[in-house]
């Protein structure tokens, strides 16, 4: 975030805070730190199970909302990347495969956020405050690995549906397994990890760091539009950076049993040799648009859901305390 970094340290700052107005008074500027950091030493005891469940609920909700809203853009992006040479793009059936995809997106998003949130909280306690960005990067990668076991088969079926190879998700699953074996559902798994692990790590790190810095600069909690704007920027930037990886992943996943490409490096060489280097940026516009808008919706819904769940927990805890008294 540059040589001048914002840091929030509960130990060295004034303890006064205006919670009723959502304002934070204990703010400190520290030019020695290269990343925004926030002290967790005065927070309530960490509840792993509650954080896990809240992450599952919030992540699943955000994933379903953003996938449903932006599926047509994703379909266009996939068809642009899968098209070889000067083939025309079919704009019919832009919602092909949505139902089957949601069946995978819901658990995948739930697993990702469910793993990411408690992992992030644990790492923030273990790492020095100046390494908060490392905690966010690591948590994003771990969450991505866990979710990939669900994401990859979902992505394979979705992209085969989007390129009109199958009539329905059940048919796609059945025919892929019969022709390619169970491994067919994990076609392009290595390229998927090559794209999604850095994507998840970078996107969530950028989002978390910008959000911490903005919160300290504003000296208050952020509202939903502000969270959405930060999420849009983080998503669009990360989407632009990882577009070549996305093209490679798409080509490997949609090739089916033809085995046109022998692997990631062979795919890159074939694309550059046959279509030129610019082909690695196919679908750049729709991808950046899709992920930018998607990041806005996802993080906006995610933070809103997390806040709602937190408020319910607080109300429940207060009621329990009164009963115990």
**Contact present, 214 and 230 (Cβ < 8 Å):** yes
0.85 cut: is pTM over it? Answer: no
121-142 average pLDDT score:
92
Q: What pLDDT sits at residue 40?
A: 41
The single-letter DSSP state of residue 129 is G
The domains located in the chain, with CATH, are 46-299 (1.50.40.10)
| Tokens 């694309």 found at | 271
pLDDT tens for residues 42-98? 445 667 788 888 999 999 999 999 989 888 888 888 788 777 665 567 778 888 878
Instruction: Record the tokens describing residue 101, joined without a space.
Output: 């995809």
Q: What pLDDT sits at residue 269?
A: 93
223-252 average pLDDT score:
92
CA distances from 282 to 79, 81, 246, 294 (A): 10, 5, 9, 19
Q: What pLDDT sits at residue 250?
A: 84
Q: What pLDDT sits at residue 46?
A: 64
pLDDT tens for residues 254-297? 887 777 888 889 999 999 999 999 999 998 988 898 899 999 99
CA distance 94 to 256: 21
Pairing of strands 28-30, 5-8: antiparallel
Helix and strand numbers, DSSP H then E, in the chain: 9, 3
* 315 pLDDT above the threshold of 90: no
């Amino acid at each position: 975030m540059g040589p001048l970094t914002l840091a929030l340290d509960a130990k060295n700052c004034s303890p006064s805070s205006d919670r009723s107005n959502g304002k934070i008074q204990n703010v400190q500027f520290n030019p020695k730190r290269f990343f925004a950091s926030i002290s967790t030493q005065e927070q309530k005891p960490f509840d792993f199970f509650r954080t896990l469940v809240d992450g599952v609920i919030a992540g699943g909700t955000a994933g379903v909302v953003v996938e449903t809203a932006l599926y047509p853009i994703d379909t266009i992006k996939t068809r642009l990347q899968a098209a070889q040479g000067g083939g025309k793009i079919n704009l019919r059936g832009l919602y092909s495969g949505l139902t089957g995809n949601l069946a995978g997106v819901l658990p995948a998003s739930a697993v990702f956020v469910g793993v990411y949130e408690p992992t992030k909280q644990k790492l923030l306690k273990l790492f020095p405050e100046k390494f908060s960005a490392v905690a966010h990067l690591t948590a994003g990668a771990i969450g991505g690995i866990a979710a990939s076991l669900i994401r990859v088969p979902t992505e394979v079926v979705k992209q085969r549906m989007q390129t009109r190879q199958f009539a329905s998700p059940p048919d796609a699953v059945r025919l892929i397994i019969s022709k390619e074996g169970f491994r067919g559902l994990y076609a392009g798994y290595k390229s998927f990890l090559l794209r999604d692990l850095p994507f998840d790590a970078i996107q969530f790190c950028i989002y978390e760091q910008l959000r911490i810095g903005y919160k300290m600069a504003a000296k208050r909690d952020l509202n939903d539009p502000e969270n959405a704007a930060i999420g849009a920027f983080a998503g669009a930037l990360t989407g632009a950076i990882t577009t070549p990886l996305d093209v490679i992943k798409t080509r490997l996943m949609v090739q089916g049993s033809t085995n046109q490409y022998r692997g990631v490096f062979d795919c890159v060489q074939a694309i550059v040799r046959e279509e030129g280097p610019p082909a690695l940026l196919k679908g750049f516009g729709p991808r950046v648009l899709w992920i930018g808008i998607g990041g806005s919706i996802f993080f906006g819904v995610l933070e809103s859901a997390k806040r709602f769940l937190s408020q319910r927990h607080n109300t429940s805890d207060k009621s329990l305390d009164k009963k115990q008294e």
